[in-house]
Amino acid sequence: MPTLHVDVDPSAQPPSSFAGDTAPLVYFLSFAFAARYGAQHELTQASLLLRRGEHQIDLKPLLTFADRATEDPADEHELKRVWQDAQPLADCCRRVAEAIDADAAIRDQLHDFPTLRDRVDELGRIASWAAEDGRRLRLTYTMD
């Protein structure tokens, strides 16, 4: 099962964390990223609904992530590249959670992932906290 990790720079322990399994969030990030390659999974479809139509959400902050395991210098470079400002990620997560709440078509695509909305909201709270302190975040995943 994959696990999402949120690193903070400068290093600090966020006041909140994930209340449950982050695998659905890793799946969503991966399938949303794969949309550009023609993926047809329901998580890809949900990401397209978020990006298009009435929502027009820029998912780039959510799609800036990397494999935490490094095997070569290119992997290490990628880990450095995915650091990002926290505020755009906080805004993105807030808008995604609001869109899930408001749009039955998105909820229909997410029916097999009932905890995804809560994990997005929790990530948004972590990012908001980091933004208030001017911190950067890095999203990585591990395959446990």
pLDDT digits (tens, 9 = 90+) for 6-52: 999 998 888 889 999 999 999 999 999 988 787 789 999 999 999 99
| Cβ proximity of 65 and 31 under 8 Å | no
Q: Residue 53's pLDDT band (boundaries 50, 70, 90)?
A: confident
Place of tokens 């494999």: 67
Q: Which domain holds residue 127?
A: 2-11+20-143
Question: How many domains, the chain?
Answer: 1
Residue at 87: amino acid letter: Q
What's the predicted TM-score (pTM) here?
Answer: 0.94
Kindly list the distances between the CA atom of residue 34 and the CA atoms of 10, 79, 80, in Å, as whole numbers in the listed order: 31, 19, 22
* Residue 47: φ, ψ to 5°: -65, -35
